[in-house]
Structure 1
Amino acid sequence: MTLNNAKVLIIVTNWGIEETELTRPLRDLKAAGAQVTLAAPTLEPCETVQHDRYEGETLTPDALLSDVQAADYDLLVVPGGTCNVDRIRVNKDAITLAQEFAHEGKPIAAICHGAWLLVNAELIAGKTASPCRYIAADIENAGGHYVDRELTVDDTNGWKLITSRKPDDLDAFVGAIKNALAA
């Protein structure tokens, strides 16, 4: 599957991102021909972690969260990592971006804790999602429906939400992103 005209935005903070939940979508989508932009609050290196504990790879962001707009992209990806998402879910630029993607009817893909951002952006109500089990109560309390499966794609409320639980689900998660971009 080639995604030559697809433009993907991945948003993170500068520390605490679960390594494979960032690097797999980033590299797999680029390999399929998509133009992928990594945006963060600062242009300092983004330090990833493995299992929220061990030092991972460091990547350089392409843009500032404050400088990117949903109108310029086809799909938003929110990787997990407990510390990453705990910070990004209170970042006003990240909340605004998520809201803009949803309001423009563009897909949002969130893995593991990534759906926490959608709770704070008030976008999860009426949606079914499969984030990590640690935020199941947050999803339910925000009016969403939590299910424990490797992938959930929900088209309700006028926009597509793609969610997966953990790094073991990345094949299904990245495949669903590719399918959404090819549609």
Structure 2
Amino acid sequence: MAVENAKVLIIVNNWGIEETELTRPLRDLKAAGAQVTLAATTLDPCETVQHDRYEGETLTPDALLSDVQATDYDLLVVPGGTCNVDRIRVNKDAIALAQEFAHEGKPIAAICHGAWLLVNAELIAGKTASPCRYIAADIENAGGHYVDKQLTIDDENGWRLITSRKPDDLDYFVDAIKDALA
């Protein structure tokens, strides 16, 4: 597969998404030729934030979380934003999607708080991850191993996990997603 033939799913709550953690993967992957779908909890506009407190860009979702399936995509991206992931990690559709991607052996890329979803989906045990430091204890308590690095790629348990800590790591994060799709 090549990036230009890939189908990528990005899942979010409709507000509280860290702006660049959504817009960089979305736009960079589209620019590389991937078909990218933004799925949200509702079809209302997705309101992003900068650093969890300043108003960011608003984007229109392409689909509902409840209407998308892992079988239709090659890779899942979970952007951060504390409020975004705090809501999406308890969303039954988001949890089921993450589990489907992992069970089908498809890559999941999560940045910053995004890995919180994987904790609730019970997918982090045995994995090494580099989310933001604020959820390090959650990763460890769920049986994962936290490391403070710009990028961690873990292929344990039959699926690839790509994690990065924060917006400053986006170059590494997006390049790792492209490599996983190449």
What TM-score, normalized to structure 2? 0.99
Q: C-alpha offsets along residues 72-99 of structure 1, whole Å, 9 cap, x if unaligned?
A: 0000000000000000000000000000
Deviation at 1:125, TM superposition (A): 0.0
Q: Secondary structure at the match of 1:4?
A: helix
Match of 2:39, SS state, is strand
Match of 1:34 in 2: 34
Q: Which residue of 2 aligns with 1:131?
A: 131
1:95-125 Cα shifts (integer Å, max 9, x gaps): 0000000000000000000000000000000
Contact 1:3 1:34 in 2 (8 A): yes
Structure 1 length as normaliser, TM-score?
Answer: 0.98
Q: 1:13·1:87 contact (CA, 8 Å) conserved in 2?
A: yes
C-alpha distance in structure 2 between counterparts of 1:170 and 1:42, whole Å:
26
Question: What SS does the corresponding residue of 2:98 show, helix, strand or coil?
Answer: helix
Poorly superposed stretches of 4+, deviation over 3 Å: none
The match for 1:176 is 176
For residues 116 and 87 of structure 1, the distance between their equivalents in structure 2, rounded to whole angstroms, comes to 10
Kindly indicate whether the alpha-carbon contact (under 8 Å) linking 1:164 and 1:170 is maintained by their aligned counterparts in 2: yes
Aligned sequence identity (%) = 91
Aligned with 2:3: secondary structure?
coil
Q: Kindly state the Cα deviation for residue 4 of structure 1 after the two structures are TM-superposed.
A: 1.5
Tell me the secondary structure at the aligned position of residue 42 of structure 2.
coil
| Structure 1 position 2, deviation (Å) | 6.0
1-structure distance, mates of 2:33, 2:13: 25
Question: 1:2·1:32 contact (CA, 8 Å) conserved in 2?
Answer: no
